[in-house]
Amino acid sequence: MTQRAYDAIRAAIIDKTLPPGGAISETGLARTLGVSKTPVREAILRLREQRLIEGNGRAMAVITPSPSLVTEAYEARIALESQAAAFAADRATEEDQAELADLAARSMAACEAGSTVEFRRYDVQFHQRIARSAYSPLLTELAVNAIDLTDVLRRRDAPMTPVSLQCARDHVRAAELIAAGEADKVRALIAHHIQTVRDRVISDYQEAVATA
């Protein structure tokens, strides 16, 4: 039930049914979703941990767009995911390696087909799998939260950012480096990869604001 509430609130943030800066009411959300307040409260706690909701008690609200928040979110990902990738190169199981290779291939296929929705889905899954393949629970939790935050900000505030063939190529190469145990190389690749995406998203966000 908590996952259902989380998914519904997260989707409402992305499509702006819950608008940026809009007040969050446990009672109102529970009524809208047809559930008790307990799963809503737990979902809100998770969303606050991801910084998608700010404040507490009766002063909670959906985060508002800002270049600084986008920058901070991607900086967190650079620091966390680059190290997670290095750990994954040392610790990933054969199953992890196979799943990473499969997700990388799927992201490439989606990119070549021009499917933004499919590419972004596999992109998020690929990066989350790297984080989980680090086998460092706290690092994984922080990295996954940062990935979720940037995914929501990107889909809500810079939805027109196109898919990138280079991003898909980076996924394929990162999967290969992890399978080969190349910790230093994959750390550098993932850091550069996320920096490139950050710069593109910030540019598209600023353009969207300027033309709004």
Q: For the chain, give me the number of helices (H) and strands (E)?
A: 9, 2
- Name the class of domain 2-62: mainly alpha
CB 76 within 8 A of CB 69: no
pLDDT digits (tens, 9 = 90+) for 112-130: 998 888 999 999 999 999 9
pLDDT digits (tens, 9 = 90+) for 142-168: 999 999 999 998 888 876 666 789 999
Q: What's the pLDDT score for residue 67? A: 84
In the chain, domain spans: 2-62, 67-211
pTM metric for this prediction:
0.86
Q: 69: pLDDT confidence band, cut at 50, 70 and 90?
A: confident
Q: Give the Cα separation of 106 and 198 in Å (integer).
A: 22
Domain 67-211 fold is Four Helix Bundle (Hemerythrin (Met), subunit A) (1.20.120)
Q: What's the pLDDT score for residue 58? A: 74
End-to-end CA distance of the chain: 37
CB 72 within 8 A of CB 124: no
| pLDDT over 90 percentage in the chain | 71
User: What letter would DSSP give residue 23?
Assistant: B
User: What letter would DSSP give residue 61?
Assistant: E
Give the strand pairing for 61-62 and 53-54.
antiparallel
Q: Region 22-44: what's the mean pLDDT?
A: 91
pLDDT over threshold 80, residue 206: no
Sign of the dihedral through C-alpha 40, 151, 132, 145: negative
